[in-house]
Structure 1
């Protein structure tokens, strides 16, 4: 879907990861009041409000992982090479073969 919006496969990978991470944070953050989240996350109320309202464009993956950790969320990752054609194209362009 993100590919259809003009994002490169690399950008789409980052955006998908960030969106999944945000959804996990939101799932647990909704259990607390904004006042409680201020204490848990160590952030002022405006930052907590931004987080709860989906304003994460200016939040790094590192910051979101920090929030997840503060909420006690254990992150488990799974990686797979689903777009090997990208690698092959880059190798062909560079004049190298795998």
Structure 2
């Protein structure tokens, strides 16, 4: 009869310990939280002040770029047939 209250008390203490363990802080992890994302964002930008530069970009003009894009899109509508790679002496009769 005495065994039941001890098991119940032990279960309550164990549950209380688990609940209190969830309230603990992680100061070492919280201090570094987000620093890896910030470092990756900095590493991915080549020139951070590029939007402030108002000089025109040197490169292809609009008409040439449009023509290149149109020919690129047309290449998918009728692709050129690829030659068979292994046709040396195959399928020919002497």
Classify the TM-score, shorter chain: under 0.3
> Under a length normalisation based on structure 2, what TM-score does the superposition of the two structures give?
0.23
Bigger RCO of structures 1 and 2 (CA < 8 A, at least 6 apart) = 1
> Under a length normalisation based on structure 1, what TM-score does the superposition of the two structures give?
0.22
Higher helix share: 1
Structure whose CA Rg is larger: 2
